[in-house]
């Protein structure tokens, strides 16, 4: 398995008003973004080119939004700016 470019643990992942996990994991590796449960089971994953990620305008500072395969997820993590920067960095073509 290739080394991950970004990995965050202890992430609360919600879809609409439903909490999917309170201690999930976000992993960016091999050009894919994966949302995992606390047990390592995959919730959803998609190629980074098909992922929309941004910080919501009117929400807490520790939140980020991600759209994977048409599903909208609310992510509560300690440093959403690091996550958003990792998504943008992983999307850039390497020279």
Q: What is the pLDDT of residues 21-46, one digit of tens each?
A: 999 999 999 999 999 999 999 999 99
Task: Give the model's pLDDT for residue 44.
Answer: 97
On the 0-12 / 13-18 / 19+ scale of CB atoms within 10 A, 93 is exposed
**Dist. CA 51–CA 19, nearest whole Å:** 20
Is the pLDDT confidence value at 94 over 80? Answer: no
Domains of the chain: 6-91 (2.30.29.30)
- Tokens representing 34 are 């994966």
Model pTM above 0.75 = yes
């Amino acid at each position: 398995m290739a080394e991950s470019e970004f990995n965050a643990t202890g992430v609360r992942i919600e879809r609409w008003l439903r909490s999917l996990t309170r201690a999930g994991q976000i992993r960016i590796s091999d050009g894919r973004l994966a949302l995992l449960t606390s047990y390592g089971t995959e919730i959803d994953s998609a190629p980074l080119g098909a992922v929309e990620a941004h910080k919501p305008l009117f929400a807490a500072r520790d939140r980020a939004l991600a759209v994977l395969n048409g599903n909208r997820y609310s992510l509560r993590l300690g440093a959403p700016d690091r996550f958003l920067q990792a998504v943008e960095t992983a999307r850039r073509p390497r020279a």
